[in-house]
Amino acid sequence: MKSSEPISNITARIVTNLIESLAIHPETNMIYAASGDNTEQKGHLYLVDGKTGELFPIGSTGFKEIEDLAFDSNGTLWAWAKGDGLIIIDPTTGIGTLMLVSNVSVEGLTLSKEPYQTIFYDSVNTELWSYDMNANKLEVSCTNLFGETEALEMMSDGQLLVGTHNVAFGLHAFNPQTCQIIMADATLSNKFKDVEGIALPIAACSVCGDGTIQTNEQCDDGNAIGD
């Protein structure tokens, strides 16, 4: 299996107080990041070198603080701007456009992978919120996230990968349908206790060797190892 971008790690992270959020383009596997307000370049969009972590500025979103980023399956880049609401960002210029006005203090943002649906999941401290764009309904779904949640990412099985601030289980999975904590990764938890952004490349979530050429594969040679 060949990926359009050689990203070997399942989670791509930037350890710096400059960056508040990460997202990976579903087709190119290019990593994007955005800044919060702990820098002179507030609310800026960046490209990230997946090997070195080096940031390459794209431009200002026009919003003062970006809490999280999320691509949909069509490659549209969504984000939550603190104090403003849900926005779309042009990945070529960085310019943001407000789509939903809201002062809810969202810190994590991701999208459901269900076909023909545009459902966002948002974290507000220990609460999980959902926003159905078709129904234009923003509401609390669960109230038992493990702690102050700053990063969300939807996995291919419909569970959320959750980054929690300054607690023993810094990374864990969560079922948004049943509101159940699935597991905690104790190995990573002992090392990283303030995960600001999580991004999963599609290649890391795909099954190779199944005889079917997926969207991120150039071929399928029957090998269960992505090479």
Helix, strand or coil, per DSSP, at residue 17: coil
Q: Which CATH superfamily is domain 19-205 in?
A: YVTN repeat-like/Quinoprotein amine dehydrogenase (2.130.10.10)
Sheet (strand 149-154) strand order = 149-154, 160-164, 171-175, 180-184
What is the mean predicted confidence (pLDDT) over 171-181?
89
Indicate if the pLDDT at residue 43 is higher than 80. yes
Whole-model pTM: value is 0.76
Give the pLDDT confidence of 91-110 residue by residue, as tens digits.
999 999 999 999 999 999 99
Of 4-8, 41-45, 94-98, 206-210, the one with minimum mean pLDDT is 4-8
Inform me whether the pLDDT recorded for 57 exceeds 60: yes
**Domain extent listing, the chain:** 19-205
**Cα angle: 43, vertex 199, 139; to 5 degrees:** 70
Of 132, 67, 68, nearest to 100 by C-alpha is 132
User: Which has more confidence, 185 or 129?
Assistant: 129
d(Cα 112, Cα 158) in Å, to the nearest integer?
7
Average pLDDT, the chain: 79
